[in-house]
Amino acid sequence: MSFLRKIFSAGPGTVLAAGLTASAFFLVLIPALISAPSPGQDPESSLSRALFSSLGIRSFSPGSIPAAGEGDYIHWVDFNVPEEALERAFRWDVDTCQSDPHISWVDLLAYLGAKYGGEFSQYRQADMDEAAARLQNGESMEAITENMKYYPYYREAYGAVLDGLLGQYETEIASADAPDFALPTGENGEPDRSAEKVWVTKYGLKAFSPIASGFPYSEYDDFGVSRTYGYRRQHLGHDMMGQVGTPIIAVESGRVEAMGWNQYGGWRLGIRSFDGKRYYYYAHLRQNYPYQSGLEEGSVVQAGDVIGYLGRTGYSTTENTNNIDEPHLHFGLQLIFDESQKEGNNEIWINCYELVKFLALHRSEVHKVEGTKEWKRVYEIRDPAVTEAQAHFSSASISFPAS
């Protein structure tokens, strides 16, 4: 299987499949699997329906996660899949997105989780490639995992982390970088590149790094280390050290569930994924101007949007206090299989260090808004998950961040 190929096939209904090299995206032009929705199209479009169907989600609505105590559910997840395994599985998925079979990256990783008993210190690329080859040769994942008792657990657990991060979506790109088919035709019959940007449809990574492109940061695996402010406890997140004012990015599209002051996290922001299973926590935001204007509880954000700014607030009962020694973003990812796990002693926070390293390959480009303290994204996206959510919440007057 070749991951570093470029295939160009023009014609009606084409999409860009976004894969990754070690340092950048590569684009594969392929016939469209699903027609892209146009602005103003019915939200119950073929794209939205196909995406949600592929994830096993009919549609998002409040309470889609079981209420406390309803039925059986997962109580704990150790997610230690390394960056290299995430990237390799992702490439298999993207490379086969127009093939039969289309190989799911989550299925591959769940297979390895079951094979290794969750211990990815045993990871070998050859194990993943062998499983993918068997799928390409006609075996089903059900047959391959028939004797793996815990495969269903790993599929659900890893799906809770990764479902929704990969799929088809529309995005703006620079006209200079666009393939000819994506451009309007000029009077001379040639592709017209006079516009600054054009819209294209991609299949690939929809999620973004929490830190905007062009802004430096440092990190290490600090999950589980001791914290003593207030009381002795474990650090249940991932710290990304950077400069005050660095734009913070929404990793996944979702709905703002919490914002405001917390004595531990300072100015913080919590965003819930549309399937209800992921809660993204961004803390220690900037003093005096922590959030992007227009953001409020209930707002719907798109993956890649600027949502706030890095700072050092927190460790104080007094609101708007800088009491963190080194400016950084505390980024946390909580999994929720039952609503009883949202708050309290049953919370599931995973080590997202390797996931964040993987997401660093997709960073949102931003530009400064002159005369303000804000930054905004350069290239907009149209995420079908947002279209679906808009349809469900339109009657509730859900607001969007100013764009």
* Cα separation, 62 vs 385, whole angstroms: 14
> Per-residue pLDDT tens for 240-261?
999 999 999 999 999 999 999 9
Tracing tokens 């899949």 back to the chain, one arrives at 81
pLDDT of residue 145: 98
Mean pLDDT of 201-209: 96
> What is the structure's pLDDT at 30?
37
Q: Is residue 40 part of a domain?
A: no
8 A C-beta contact, residue 175 and residue 198? yes
Are 222 and 252 part of one and the same domain?
Answer: yes
3-state helix, strand, coil in the chain (%, to 5): 25, 25, 50
Confidence (pLDDT) at 395 = 56
Specify whether 171 is located in the same domain as 281: no
| 25 and 172 both lie in a single domain | yes
Q: What is the pLDDT of residues 99-113, one digit of tens each?
A: 999 999 999 999 999
Whether residue 51 is predicted with pLDDT greater than 60 in this model: the reply is no
Residue 282, in any domain of the structure: yes
Confidence of residue 391 (pLDDT cuts 50, 70, 90): confident
- Whose CA is closest to 25, among 181, 165, 205? 205
Residue in 244, 243, 248 with CA at minimum distance from that of residue 270: 248
Q: Are residues 249 and 388 in the same domain?
A: yes
Residue 159 sits in the same domain as residue 10: no
C-alpha angle 390-395-397 in degrees, rounded to nearest 5: 75
Of 306, 271, 272, the closest CA to residue 286 belongs to 306
Choose the weakest-confidence range: 127-131, 252-256, 387-391: 387-391
Whether 373 and 264 map to the same domain: the answer is yes
Do 159 and 184 lie in a common domain? no
Q: How confident is the model at residue 397 (pLDDT cuts 50, 70, 90)?
A: low
Number of folded domains that form the chain: 3
Q: Which amino acid is at 189?
A: G
CA 13/CA 168 separation, integer angstroms:
13
Q: Does any domain span residue 52?
A: no
Q: Is 254 part of any domain?
A: yes
Do residue 11 and residue 116 come from a single domain? no
Q: CATH number, domain at 322?
A: 2.70.70.10
Residue 342 CA to residue 257 CA, distance in Å, equals 11
Would you state the torsion angle of the CA atoms of residues 163, 167, 169, 173, taken in this order, to the nearest 10 degrees? Answer: 110
Q: Is residue 49 part of a domain?
A: no
129 lies in some domain: yes
Confidence (pLDDT) at 70: 59
**What's the pTM?**
0.83
Stretch 293-317: mean pLDDT = 97
Residue that finishes a domain, picked among 149, 177, 205: 205
> What does the mean pLDDT of the chain come to?
84
Q: Are residues 173 and 154 located together in one domain of the fold? A: no
d(CA 297, CA 300): 9
Judge if 114 and 260 occupy the same domain.
Answer: no
Residues 184 and 238 in one domain: no
Confidence of residue 148 (pLDDT cuts 50, 70, 90): very high
What letter would DSSP give residue 69?
T
Query: Which structural domain range is residue 10 located in?
Result: 1-32+166-205
User: Is residue 157 located within the same domain as residue 133?
Assistant: yes
Cβ contacts of 64 within 8 Å, gap of 6 or more: 57, 275, 276
